[in-house]
Amino acid sequence: MNAGATIPAAGVVVPTTLCRVTGTVSSRPTEAVGIEVWLPTSWNHRFEGVGSGGFGGSIAYPELARASAQGFAAASTNTGHHGSSFGKAGEKLEWASNPVTLDDWGRNAIHLMTSATKQIAASYYGAAPRHSYFNGCSTGGAEAMSEAEFFPKDYDGIHAGSPGMAYSRLIQSFLWTAMPSQHDAQATLPDAALTLLHNAVLHACSDAKAVPGDTFLTTPARCAFNPAILACRPGQPSQDCLSPPQIAAVRQIYAPVRNARTGAEIYPGYVRGGEADPDRVPGRFSVTGWYMNQGALAGAVASPLLGTAVFEHPGWKWSDFNFGSDSDQIMRVLSAHIDAMSPDLRAFAARGGKLIMTQGWADAFNAPTLPVSYLMQVRQFMGSPDQFLRLFMVPGMGHCGGGPGPNAFGGPGQLPAPITDARHDVVAALIGWVEQSHAPKTIIATHYDQNIPSRGIAMQRPLCPYPQHSVYVGTGDSSKADSFICK
C-alpha cells in the first residue's frame, strides 16, 4: 500500500508505503485469531505488537498506523473473534461461551499474533526483527502483563498502560460502584454533584498538588478528604451539597470491593481527585470522572461477560450480584482465563526483558493503586525489580489518556507526544533501556490546550518512577518540565 491510502472500515490513513498482510492464526479446533501485519518499506529492524481494548473484536488500525509510521513492523489482532469492544446488559457474548475463544481474548491471542508476525517479518525482510516491543493499554495493558507472565520470550520490552490485569476482579468493581444508584435513585451522582465533589477535594487537599493552580492531585494518596463535609444542611440548596444517599455512594466508590463472606479485599477503591473531568462536555464519553461507573460499565462489561461466561444465563440480573458466593464463583470459573497477577516475573527478568507500567491517578475505570500494590508484591517476591520493572504514575490522567494532567507520552490511544524520543515517548524509553541499558529516570508527559494538539502545548511534567513523584522546584515556569524534579 502507498502512503496516503485509506483503510475504509476504519477511516485510517496509511502513513507510509508498506506491505499489508491479513490472516488468521489457529492452534486448536474452533480457534481463528485474526491478525493484521503492517510492514513498512523503511524498516527500523524492530517489531511492535499493539494491544486491544475492551472485549477486542477488531484490529487496532490507529495503533498500526502510529507504529508503522515510526518504522516498526507492526501487528494487531482481533483477539480471536469479531465484535464490539463493549457489550450490552442481557446480551450473550458467543465468543465468551467458548473456552477456546475466551482464552484467546484473555491470554493467548497476542502470543499467537506475535509468533506469526515474527515469521512473516523474517520472510518479507529476509531477516528477523532485532528487537520486539509491545505497547498496550487497558485490556492491552492486561495483554502486556500476560505476555510478561506467561510468554516471557515474546518481547524484549513491554509497556503496560492502565492494565486491567486483574480483570475478574475489575469487573466486580464495576458492579460495586454501580450498586448504590442501582438500588436507590437518590444515590445517583449527576455531573453537577461530581463537579461539586471534585472541587471540594481539590480545595481540601491542596497540599497534594504540585503547584497551587493545578486542577488535579499529584500525590492523591496524601488526601484523606471526608465527603461528609458536603452533607446538606437544613435550607441549603441541593446543588450546593450532597444528600445522605449520595454521600454513602461516594464512600462506597472510595472503598475497596470486599468479599461479603470473608471480608477479604477483592479490588481497591478509587483515590481522591478523580471524581470529575474539568474539561468534559456533559453527556460525552469520558475516561476521567465517575460518569460511567455508576451503571454504564456494569451494563456494558460485567453483565454480558459474567452472564455468558460465569452464570451461563444472558438474562442474569447483575443488580442482584452477591459479593460473597457470586464472587467466589467468578474466581473459580473466570480468573484462570483472564487474570495476570502473579508477581513471579523471574523468567522475563532473566532473559533481559524490560517492563514499564503506567497508570493515571485519575483513571475512571481501573483503581489507580492496583499497579502500586502489584509492584510491592513483585518487590516482596523478587527483591528490588528496578533492573527490569518501573512504574510511572501519571497525575491527573484518566484511563489511558485524557484528564486535566500531563497525559500524552506515546501510549496507545493517547494524543501524540510532541517529540518521539526517550524523554517523551514510552516506547522510545523502552528501546533505550533494552538496547542501550539506559533505564528511564523520567518520562516527559504533555498536556495540550483543551486536549487538542493543534492548540499547542499547555504544560509538560516529568513522570517519575514510583515511589518518586514530581516536585516543583519553587522557581521557574510551572508549565515547563524543567521546573520540576523527581523526589
The answer to whether residue 420 scores a pLDDT higher than 70 is no
- Average pLDDT score over residue span 298-316: 94
The answer to whether residue 143 scores a pLDDT higher than 70 is yes
The CATH homologous superfamily to which domain 6-167+339-486 belongs is Alpha/Beta hydrolase fold, catalytic domain (3.40.50.1820)
| Confidence at residue 286, expressed as pLDDT on a 0 to 100 scale | 80
Candidates 138, 173, 286, 470; catalytic one: 138
pLDDT level of residue 334 (50, 70, 90 thresholds): very high
**Domain boundaries along the sequence of the chain:** 6-167+339-486, 169-336
Q: Compute the half-sphere exposure of residue 263: CA atoms within 13 Å on the CB side of its CA.
A: 0
pLDDT level of residue 11 (50, 70, 90 thresholds): confident
**Residue 435: phi, psi to the nearest 5?**
-95, -20
Candidates 104, 156, 277, 363; catalytic one: 363
- 363 is a catalytic site residue: yes
Q: Compute the half-sphere exposure of residue 483: CA atoms within 13 Å on the CB side of its CA.
A: 13
The answer to whether residue 296 scores a pLDDT higher than 70 is yes
Provide DSSP, 376-405. Answer: HHHHHHHS--TTTEEEEEETT--SSS-SSS
The answer to whether residue 281 scores a pLDDT higher than 80 is no
Q: Are strands 157-161 and 73-77 parallel, antiparallel or unpaired?
A: unpaired
| Confidence at residue 450, expressed as pLDDT on a 0 to 100 scale | 86
| Confidence at residue 246, expressed as pLDDT on a 0 to 100 scale | 98
| Confidence at residue 60, expressed as pLDDT on a 0 to 100 scale | 96
The answer to whether residue 419 scores a pLDDT higher than 70 is no
Q: How many CB atoms lie within 10 A of CB 120?
A: 19
Q: What is the pLDDT of residues 19-75, one digit of tens each?
A: 999 999 999 999 999 999 999 999 999 999 999 999 999 999 999 999 999 999 999
| Confidence at residue 276, expressed as pLDDT on a 0 to 100 scale | 94
- Average pLDDT score over residue span 390-409: 96
pLDDT level of residue 413 (50, 70, 90 thresholds): confident
Q: What is the pLDDT of residues 86-110, one digit of tens each?
A: 999 999 999 999 999 999 999 999 9
Rounded Cα–Cα distance for residues 462 and 7 (Å): 36
Candidates 399, 424, 447, 469; catalytic one: 399
Count each helix (H run) and each strand (E run) in the chain, helices first. 14, 16
| Confidence at residue 102, expressed as pLDDT on a 0 to 100 scale | 97
The answer to whether residue 147 scores a pLDDT higher than 90 is yes
Say if CB 473 and CB 483 are below 8 A apart.
yes
Provide DSSP, 327-391. Answer: HHHHHHHTHHHHB------HHHHHTT-EEEEEEETTBSSS-TTHHHHHHHHHHHHHS--TTTEEE
The answer to whether residue 425 scores a pLDDT higher than 70 is yes
- 399 is a catalytic site residue: yes
Rounded Cα–Cα distance for residues 53 and 164 (Å): 10
